[in-house]
Structure 1
Amino acid sequence: MNLKHPTTDSQPNTPSNIKNGVLLLNKPEGMGSTHALNIVKRALRLKKAGHGGTLDPFAEGLLLILIGKATRFMEYYGEEKEYVSVIRLGVRTDTDDPDGEVIEEREIKDIDIEKVKEVLKKFEGEFMQKVPLYSAVKIDGKRLYKLARKGAKVELPERKVEIKEIELLDYSLPFLTIRTVVKKGVYLRSLARDIGDELGCGAYLYKLKRISVSPFTIEDAYTIEDIKNGNYKIIPLKDALPHFPSVTLSGDDVWKIRHGMKVRGFYPEGIYYVKDSLGNPVAVARGITFGLKPEKVINEGV
């Protein structure tokens, strides 16, 4: 599932001229997200950087590398993500992915393409999802994966999640390939497991590729080799934030927002990107009752 990003004739940015921004990485399969981040930090000599939205080692695709002050805005990215998943029917693993131990094998029978489509529709919209046993979710202050490694019997917690789109791309038993657009909090490993349970044969997530992390897509991402060779562009923070509805303020209102104060006005509930009258970034703010309250102020000159 390799996708080629467009080439560019412009000169690559360097840490010396873009200190705060977002770099789009096409993480390869077989590498952990932290490992990939550390490679990028060494290659670009970055002092401060983080990644947005962990991809497991077996997965590939878009990983956001947030640089400098952009790390403060990590929570605002990835409200929606798009994935292509390959699901292996007839086999269950303890981790719900290919890195785990096989715990059950079942016969695949009476599963035609129409039945698969019918089952997939059950997972469109909001529903309660059990988290994977091997996950970082805490129970009584302890990580689930640590409890699992000790052999502890635990009741998996459920969370309300939302899948906005789910589509069957390929039906080649024992494999299904699906595309999903999900809101924050969805576990694709749990989805594969639950699809297998609904089909009566069990399943695990065999392959995973992340296609987008709102508002960015993999078409604009760079490989590790691209980055090592200097063929990359960092998106400046001021250009990486305007995926929220924008609000333009002037005069005293700009001063108030910059100093953490609320400004009056009617703003429907939600997150806003605040600019001054010259188009300079001011803050990320939240609409509240009859006002706008800053959540993260953007320093001048970013």
Structure 2
Amino acid sequence: MDGILLANKPKGPTSHDIIFDIRRKFGIKKTGHTGTLDPLAEGLMIILVGQATKISPYMHFSKEYEIGVLFGKSTETDDLEGTQVRECPVPKRLKEKAAEILPEFTGVLRQTPPVFSAVKKDGKKLYNLARRGKEVNAEPRSVEIFNIDITGVEGNTVFLRVHASAGTYMRSIARDMGERLGSCAVLSQIKRTRIGGFCLKDAKRPEELTDIKENLISIDSALYNMPGIEINENDEKKIRNGMSVALPLPGNSNIVKLVRNGKVIAIGEVKGAEILVKRGIELF
């Protein structure tokens, strides 16, 4: 079985818990995902099954979230899971003040990841260093926030809808909004509602996934945004032997999927007049 599953993760379990349960339920040996959700988080996860684990590097889609930003407190982890480190005065006219700074949180930004995150520094994950009491200086990274809107305010919490590039931390948005308003803030809730063209409404809770074949999306469909080239039997033989192939070249991308009878045989890179195989996918 090869393809992707759309899972609706509930609050509580880790992303690893969700994957482990699916693997055990269906006897799957190879699984992966396109991005974790913290235990506090809920919403859409894309589970990679079988040969689809090879396409993870090509699924860096933008993502949409519904989040809550709680003003007046700061924690080690920038969310409600961490130990509180301080309290701050909550800005008056919170909704108006938050709305005023939203343009500063739109576009291409330099964002510093949370200290407790899976971002690596010198080959080591930041959260492992932080848990050992090491001083951690996270390096700012370039991210893009396409859209951010206020959907409501309750008490000291501002609710936002955010559409951002892969790798954007919602915890960092909460932390930075608090600092920008002369206060402090943490992420109080988060739901991922979309990854690229895949929507939460089409996902199922782990307990609802009773027939994997009914819910498995093909690798070809998973790579919906990548140009595809249909290859013949001779081309397939060349690819299996690690050879380059001369094919009609796409005009808008240097990365393509090579498809044979509905299966993605390989991911290719355009080099001059030929296509070099970068990664074999459904070869066997």
Cα deviation code 1:151-199 (max 9, x no counterpart)? 3333221111111221211123311111112212211111111111112
Aligned ranges 1:212-227 → 2 under 5 Å: 212-227=194-209
Q: 1:130 offset after TM fit, Å? A: 0.8
Cα deviation code 1:102-135 (max 9, x no counterpart)? 1111111234433312312212111111111111
Distance 1:37 1:43 in 2: 10
Amino acid corresponding to residue 259 of structure 2 in structure 1: K
Q: 1:250 offset after TM fit, Å? A: 4.9
Question: Cα distance 1:39–1:266, how it changes in 2: closer, same or farther (>3 A)?
Answer: closer
Distance 2:153 2:95 in 1: 7
Distance 2:264 2:126 in 1: 41
- 2:178 matches 1:196: yes
Select the residue among 266, 278, 284 that pairs with 1:295. 278
Question: Cα distance 1:231–1:98, how it changes in 2: closer, same or farther (>3 A)?
Answer: farther
Select the residue among 181, 185, 188 that pairs with 1:206. 188
The aligned residue for residue 11 of structure 1 is: none
Distance 2:150 2:272 in 1: 42
Amino acid corresponding to residue 137 of structure 1 in structure 2: V
Please tell me whether the aligned partners of residues 89 and 183 of structure 2 are also in contact (alpha carbons under 8 angstroms): yes
The aligned residue for residue 57 of structure 2 is: 75
Question: Cα distance 1:230–1:155, how it changes in 2: closer, same or farther (>3 A)?
Answer: closer
Amino acid corresponding to residue 271 of structure 1 in structure 2: I
Worse-superposed segment, 197-206 or 45-54: 45-54
Please tell me whether the aligned partners of residues 96 and 193 of structure 1 are also in contact (alpha carbons under 8 angstroms): yes
Select the residue among 1, 4, 7 that pairs with 1:25. 7
Q: Which runs of 5+ in 2 are unaligned?
A: none
TM-score (norm 1): 0.83
Distance 1:288 1:75 in 2: 19
Question: Cα distance 1:74–1:119, how it changes in 2: closer, same or farther (>3 A)?
Answer: same
Q: Which runs of 5+ in 1 are unaligned?
A: 1-18
Cα deviation code 1:238-268 (max 9, x no counterpart)? 4333331233445765554454444454644
Aligned ranges 1:144-155 → 2 under 5 Å: 144-155=126-137
Distance 2:39 2:134 in 1: 25
Aligned ranges 1:222-301 → 2 under 5 Å: 222-228=204-210, 233-250=215-232, 255-263=237-245, 265=249, 267-276=251-260, 280-299=263-282
Amino acid corresponding to residue 235 of structure 1 in structure 2: I
What value does the CA root-mean-square deviation take over the aligned residues?
Answer: 2.5
Please tell me whether the aligned partners of residues 88 and 174 of structure 1 are also in contact (alpha carbons under 8 angstroms): yes
The aligned residue for residue 52 of structure 1 is: 34
- 2:19 matches 1:61: no
Q: 1:280 offset after TM fit, Å? A: 4.9
Please tell me whether the aligned partners of residues 267 and 290 of structure 1 are also in contact (alpha carbons under 8 angstroms): no
Aligned ranges 1:118-157 → 2 under 5 Å: 118-157=100-139
Distance 2:189 2:101 in 1: 20
Please tell me whether the aligned partners of residues 43 and 227 of structure 1 are also in contact (alpha carbons under 8 angstroms): no
Distance 1:291 1:239 in 2: 24
Distance 1:272 1:292 in 2: 9
Distance 1:189 1:279 in 2: 40
Distance 1:209 1:136 in 2: 19
Please tell me whether the aligned partners of residues 27 and 224 of structure 1 are also in contact (alpha carbons under 8 angstroms): yes
The aligned residue for residue 76 of structure 2 is: 94
Question: Cα distance 1:178–1:231, how it changes in 2: closer, same or farther (>3 A)?
Answer: farther
Instruction: Count matched residues.
Output: 282
TM-score (norm 2): 0.88
Distance 2:96 2:258 in 1: 48
Question: Cα distance 1:41–1:169, how it changes in 2: closer, same or farther (>3 A)?
Answer: same
